[in-house]
Amino acid sequence: NLILPKASAVGEPSLSAKSAILINALTNEVVYEKNAYERRGVASTTKIMTSLLALENGDLKKTIIARDRDVRIEGTSIGLKDGDKITLETLVIGMLLESGNDAANVTARAISGSREKFVSLMNKKARQIGMNNTSFKNPSGLTEDDHYSTAFDMALLGSYAIKNKKFRSICSTDSIRVAYGTPEYQRTFKNHNKLLTSC
């Protein structure tokens, strides 16, 4: 991805974020940036990469069996339990709409066989996209030594990800009805992205 020089800005916006960047997703022209090249923890935005790799490398209709070692994780979850059956598509929806850390772990093992192999795939993909100041250590974004990126690199990832039709469709949906578990039952995942309703 070619990054063009930053466009001249008329006045500086007031932002509380320590780092920020705004780019044109079609041209990758940098419209605005603030400390965009400083390394920071990326938390659950890590799941953009995890979801993208699932979409590119997996069969979305495949049924996955969740295992205890993957679902016992701190932070947000979609409520998976050991032995639950769930499709890869629902795991991706659970990551993108509900930020499920359990969904991220189950996805990693489903795609690569182990969390470690999946993390290697994440970093390989990052380099392909041009994210040269990024290091992933887990699929969910939980705080860990050497798990970091920059606003610039994450903008590259976002620009790349929204070109994926399925990714774009899920992220632009207000809510999605899904079913999983043992026994299977219905639940609704809601999109928490305030940008969808701020216009």
Report the catalytic residues: 44, 47, 99
Which residues are paired to 185 by β-bridges? 180
Residue with tokens 């999983």: 180
Instruction: Compute the Cα dihedral for 43, 49, 55, 61 and give only its sign.
Output: negative
CA distance 198 to 166: 23
Q: Is 149 helix (H, G, I), strand (E, B) or coil?
A: strand
CA distance 132 to 134: 6
